Amino acid sequence: MTKKKENTTNTLFNNPQKTCLLAQQMLPVPGKPVFQMSNPIWKKPVWKKTVLASILAAVSTSIILTSCGKKEEETPPAPEEPPKVVEETITEEETTPEEETIVEEEEPEATHEGEAKSFLTGEWIDENLAKQRPVSCMIGNTESALPQYGIGQAQVIYEAPVEGGLTRLMGIFEDYKGIEKLGSVRSSRLYYAYYSMGFDAIYLHYGQASYAQGFLESGQIDDLNGLEYAVDQAVIYRDKSKKAPHNAYATGDGLVAGVELKKYTEEYAQDYQGHYQFAEDEKPVELSGGTCQDAAVVQPGYQVNHPYFEYNPQDGLYYRYQYGAKQIDGNDSSQLAVKNVLLQNSSVRTLDSNGYLEIQTPGEGTGWYITNGKAVDIKWKRADNFSPTKYYDSDGKEITLNQGKTWVCITDQSHPDRVHIYADAAQMQ
């Protein structure tokens, strides 16, 4: 039987699997030499048929090789989805807000530029005012003379006995130029002139007891005496609503005119060191020690006006009462109040039948210092009538006063039983 010759073209296109295998077999094997014909086929008569078949096989092989390894029936590719738009999500980094730190602004430290400490209160005041000599003024304290005017503007007040069991006041004024009304202005006693000397003050009075006249006219003290016609005209005016001798008053302008009239030096002496030693700023004195006692009410023991001081813990001041009522300043109706009270026991004696007194001013004695609701025993010393009085504690150390106003009560050392210091107002007799 004659065997039919297999049609290569039909094999290539009708049997893909066989064609694929055949194509793979025809590829050169790595590492083996490529088969070469000894006689080129184009030299043989049948070369045309063979070449045509080879070309077809090569093209088919190229096509088949790109399909080898795929499934027989390849699923057509799904239509391409449109590109997804990826929205870029910008996630802001979450930051925990820092806790707000509230920094309390510190108050700027006071420089006190243009200021200086007052010799009378220890407080900061204008530096020019701090250099200015004060004016002291004798003020009547009888019941018929009330209310006093301008007394509330004094930085220091002295109170001492005069004849008849009465007391008289002497206010010491630092900023006297602005006083609206001051008085009533009364006559001098020699010991008051000496007290004024201790503050290097210009001393205002209207007349004097005979015992004081020699010293007042000696030129040792700068005084403004209303009995002098020129001083009366420059400094004093009469309040017609008051009867003499309680009708003489001064003004700040009048005091300025009087100082100019007398040509007195307006600044402290170069060697003046002050009368008191005061506490530093923000460091108040709190009394303690073996003699310390509570002091809610203080009675200095004067027999006619029956004055007392009552402590107010709210503001730390002692408020003044006398003649059974508040003691007020007629200029603004405010009650008199001070930070410090000094009780100074002194020798007192009667000079004549008129009852004029002599009070020891130099020397030494005992007393009490009262501030912030407490009282302690003290001793006082004064070298002479031109020097300040100094106060010492039981250890001999000079006491320190709290900043503020001071009231000095000169008490009779022969009657210590008249002075009372009460721990509670209910105990007051």
Distance CA 238, CA 247 (A): 5
Q: Is residue 41 over pLDDT 50?
A: no
Question: How many residues are there in the chain?
Answer: 429
Stated as kind and residue range, the H or E segment containing 13 is helix 8-14
- pLDDT tens-digit series, residues 307-356: 999 999 999 999 999 999 999 999 999 999 999 999 999 999 999 999 99
Q: Which of 176, 248, 190 is nearest to 220 (CA)?
A: 190
Q: Tell me, what's the pLDDT at 107?
A: 65
Q: Is the pLDDT of residue 82 over 70?
A: no
Give the pLDDT score at 110.
74
Nearest-angstrom CA–CA distance, 183 and 399: 32
Residues 253, 345, single domain; the answer is: no
Residue 173 is assigned to a structural domain of this protein:
yes
Q: Give the tens place of pLDDT for each residue, 366-403.
A: 999 999 999 999 999 999 999 999 999 999 999 999 99
Amino acid at 42: W
Q: How confident is the model at residue 2 (pLDDT cuts 50, 70, 90)?
A: very low
Domain boundary among 216, 243, 262: 262
Q: Are 224 and 183 in contact (CB under 8 A)?
A: no
What are the residues whose beta carbons fall under 8 Å from the beta carbon of 311, sequence distance 6 or more? Answer: 295, 296, 297, 317, 318, 319, 373
Whether residues 251 and 302 share a domain: the answer is no
Residues 127 and 205 grouped into a single domain: yes
The whole domain housing 307 covers: 293-427
Whether residue 229 is contained in a domain is answered as: yes
Supply the pLDDT for residue 80: 54
Is 198 contained in some domain?
yes
User: Are residue 245 and residue 169 in the same domain, yes or no?
Assistant: yes
Cα separation, 414 vs 347, in Å, equals 7
Share of the chain above pLDDT 70, in %: 75
Report the pLDDT value the prediction gives residue 32, as an integer from 0 to 100: 47
What 3-state class would DSSP assign to 20?
Answer: helix
Same domain, yes or no: 251 and 300: no
What is the pLDDT, as a whole number, of residue 70?
A: 43
**Residue 206 within any structural domain of the chain:** yes
Quick check: 365 pLDDT over 70? yes
How is residue 207 written in tokens?
């007349």
d(C-alpha 284, C-alpha 401), whole Å: 9
124 domain-assigned: yes
Q: Are residues 245 and 369 in the same domain?
A: no
Q: Are residues 297 and 257 in the same domain?
A: no
pLDDT recorded at residue 55: 46
Q: 248 and 127: one domain? A: yes
pLDDT category at 94 given cuts 50, 70, 90 is low
Residue 102 has a pLDDT of 67
- The band of 51, judged by pLDDT with boundaries at 50, 70 and 90, is very low
- Do 148 and 332 form a contact (C-beta atoms < 8 A)? no
pLDDT value of position 270? 86
- Domain-located, residue 57: no
Tens of pLDDT, residues 164-189? 999 999 999 999 999 999 999 999 99
**pLDDT at position 111:** 85
Give the model confidence (pLDDT) of 232-242 as tens digits: 999 999 999 99
* 303 and 255 fall within a common domain: no
Q: What gap in Å lies between CA 311 and CA 298, rounded to an integer? A: 9
Query: According to the model, what pLDDT value does residue 269 have?
Result: 87
Question: Are residues 348 and 407 located together in one domain of the fold?
Answer: yes
Shared domain for 230 and 297, answered yes or no, is: no
Structural domain contains residue 302: yes
Q: What is the mean pLDDT of the chain?
A: 85
- Comparing 40-44, 216-220, 257-261, 337-341, the range with the smallest average pLDDT is 40-44
Q: What string of DSSP letters covers 113-166?
A: TTEEE-TTT--EEEHHHHHBPPEEEEE--SGGGPSBBSGGG-SEEEEEE-GGG-
pLDDT surpassing 70 at residue 78: no
Kindly state whether residues 255 and 183 are assigned to the same domain: yes
- Is 143 within 8 Å of 323 (Cβ atoms)? yes
The whole-number pLDDT of residue 428 equals 85
Q: Do 301 and 420 form a contact (C-beta atoms < 8 A)? A: yes
Count the domains in the chain. 2
Q: Does residue 271 lie within any of the structural domains?
A: no
CATH number, position 312: 3.50.90.10
Give yes or no for residue 279 having a pLDDT over 80.
yes
